[in-house]
Amino acid sequence: MYKIMFVDDDPLIVRRLHQILDWRTLDFEILPDAYDGISALSQLKSAVPDIIICDINMPNMDGLELAAILKEHYPGIHCILLTVNDSFGCAQQALNIGVSHYLLKPIEPESLKNLIQKILSQLDSSREKENYISSLYSKALLNERMIRDKFLNWLVSGRQTLDERQLKEKFEFYQIPLRGEEFQIIAVHMDSMDFPVSMEKHMDDLMQTAIKSIEDTLSDYPNCVVFTDSFYQCNILMGYEQNSGRPGPGVELICRLLRDNLLFDLNLSAAVFYSCRYRGLSNIYRCYYETKFLSRYNPSVLNKGILSFEEYMKNAFDMEMDLDSIRSATFRLLRSDDETGLDAHVHSTLKLPFARHSFDTFNMLRIDFVMTGLMFLRENKLALQDIFDRHYAPLSDVMELNEPDGCSAFLGSYFRRILEHIRGSKVSPSRRITEKCMELIEQNLSSPELSVKWLSSQLYMNENYLSRMFRREMNLPLVKYMMQKRMEAAKKYLDEGYANLQEVSRLTGFSDPLYFSKCFKKEYGVAPSKYIGV
């Protein structure tokens, strides 16, 4: 339905306009009348008509003045001017301001009807065009989201081996406005997503509605991106800028808002999980896999509502178990290419908790074995598609196997294929670990936590063994190598014009500026304050 307004200071003319045509049959809503240009403009604040029929001769503001203002500020309104004057000058004035619709008084019903139908044709065409453009825009947004989701699913799958610089370029290419040094994933699992495959269309519609609610909830937190995965789980990738000067959002508050809004707005019950924070874009896949520990395959977790991976690790086990030790043993056997020992390790680890009726523990371990394999691949600068079919999804596959023997057989084959591929490489395991160690140092120079102990925890190795291996490969102590890289970074900052020594010391991982100055002078023979003036 279109809207029409009559503007004339003569009540008889206005009444005639109301009665001259059957406006409802023509699909028009008649807006309140106005008696001059000023009152008409005032009424446009509450409702904008598609057509205005307006007298030229009116007090305060005449029809020509009103038409000029409408042309500038409301170009979509069609204005029909009425006058008793058939002079060329009046018509020329109307044409000069862009008004082509012009009728003489007394108004002939047939003339007005023909003019209205002509305008309606233009309005219909314009509306169809707007709808078409809107449809194209919606499709473009949908395609953009699908492409972005595909990239983010690839990022968290373990199928990529890009370094930090390459990943930053990818984020810019896909126009993902995520900033920060640390990252975290919040996973939203909605109970109503547990539909059979036959209701897939319903799931898609419901997911789109849920995503809209989630994005509205996150409108005050711009440093994040929402994407869905093949498990019909909605994931929020959060970025944290350590040196932005602004405190980051409280993740527990965000989780509570997400859960409450889904419940109140859509009557959707949801469990919200969040991972630990990890430094670097290349570690985002670790955030994702941690949320899989708390996934829909674990009914007892869903009842908790909101749960962190860290909290779950503290409370989930019904037996004494050190997951880091299990992962360290897995890495040691992979690095030593001990296929037999690896099979025995996987089988014995999965068998015991299942015998103790701890499905939570069994669930966690089988996912962790898959993730350890992905971490080992990254250590060797490999991705899943380098070894397996490009559609291979070990997480999905292992979650379909709820018996320890089946999981052990699957994981044995998974690790065997990885080891067979790596055997063909001419690079020694110790060299690969050394390169991974150097990569971690380069990525974390600004972190005060960077140390031999921290590196060994990231690589799941003994500190002393890592130090000996690094020295053997590089002919340089690991501690000295870290200091050299920090000093090189500090010198680069000073060469680029950084004059604030406290800021430079912070950017290179020193919490004490005086100790930084001492180390710089020892390395380069001059204090940083004097180096600036050189």
- Tell me whether residue 286 is in a domain: yes
- Tell me whether residue 529 is in a domain: yes
Residues 276 and 165 in one domain: yes
Q: Measure the CA–CA gap between 331 and 375, rounded to whole angstroms.
A: 9
Residues 103 and 35 in one domain: yes
Q: Give the DSSP H/E element, type plus range, for residue 224.
A: strand 224-228
Task: Check residue 245 and give its pLDDT.
Answer: 46
- Tell me whether residue 189 is in a domain: yes
407: left (phi over 0), alpha (psi -120 to 50) or beta: alpha
Extract long-range pairs of 495-499: CB within 8 Å, 24+ residues apart. 499/532
Residues 165 and 249 in one domain: yes
Residues 158 and 252 in one domain: yes
Range of the domain at 462: 429-533
Residues 101 and 153 in one domain: no
Final residue in a domain of this structure, among 315, 337, 359: 315
Final residue in a domain of this structure, among 283, 315, 347: 315
Task: Check residue 197 and give its pLDDT.
Answer: 44
123-153 pLDDT, tens per residue?
Answer: 888 887 777 666 665 565 556 777 888 888 8
Helical H runs in 460-512? 463-474, 478-495, 501-507
C-alpha 258, offset from chain centre = 15
| Residues 504 and 494 sit within 8 Å (Cβ to Cβ) | yes
Q: Measure the CA–CA gap between 275 and 183, rounded to whole angstroms.
A: 9
155: domain CATH number is 3.30.70.270
475: domain CATH number is 1.10.10.60
Confidence band for 170, pLDDT divided at 50, 70 and 90: confident
Asked whether residue 320 carries a pLDDT value surpassing 70, the answer given is no
The residue type of 374 is L
Residues 87 and 148 in one domain: no
Provide the β-strand partners of residue 112.
none
Residues 212 and 307 in one domain: yes
Helix, strand or coil for residue 306?
strand
Fill in the DSSP letter of residue 228: E
- Tell me whether residue 90 is in a domain: yes
Final residue in a domain of this structure, among 315, 339, 374: 315
- Tell me whether residue 412 is in a domain: no
Confidence band for 308, pLDDT divided at 50, 70 and 90: confident
The residue type of 362 is F
Averaged pLDDT for residues 221-238: 84
Residues 92 and 148 in one domain: no
Residues 68 and 171 in one domain: no
Confidence band for 156, pLDDT divided at 50, 70 and 90: confident
344-400 pLDDT, tens per residue?
Answer: 999 988 886 654 446 667 877 888 898 899 888 888 888 887 888 877 888 888 888
- Tell me whether residue 353 is in a domain: no
- Tell me whether residue 75 is in a domain: yes
Work out the angle between the directed axes of helices 513-524 and 478-495 (0-180°, nearest 10): 100
pTM above 0.75, yes or no: no
Higher pLDDT among residues 93 and 86, named by residue: 93
Residues 150 and 59 in one domain: no
Confidence band for 198, pLDDT divided at 50, 70 and 90: very low
Question: Across all residues in the chain, what is the average pLDDT?
Answer: 82
Distances (CA, A) of 40 to 8, 17, 61, 420: 10, 16, 10, 81
As a residue count, the chain comes to 534
Residues 207 and 75 in one domain: no
Confidence band for 4, pLDDT divided at 50, 70 and 90: very high
Residues 6+ apart with CB under 8 A from 75: none
| Residues 490 and 504 sit within 8 Å (Cβ to Cβ) | yes
Residues 298 and 194 in one domain: yes
Q: Give the DSSP H/E element, type plus range, for residue 82.
A: strand 78-83
Q: Measure the CA–CA gap between 317 and 216, rounded to whole angstroms.
A: 36
- Tell me whether residue 352 is in a domain: no
C-alpha 232, offset from chain centre = 16
Number of domains the chain contains: 3
53: domain CATH number is 3.40.50.2300
Extract long-range pairs of 374-380: CB within 8 Å, 24+ residues apart. 374/158, 374/285, 374/289, 375/286, 375/331, 376/331, 376/334, 376/335, 376/418, 377/158, 377/161, 377/418, 378/158, 378/161, 378/282, 378/436, 379/432, 379/433, 379/436, 379/459, 380/422, 380/425, 380/427, 380/432
Asked whether residue 50 carries a pLDDT value surpassing 70, the answer given is yes
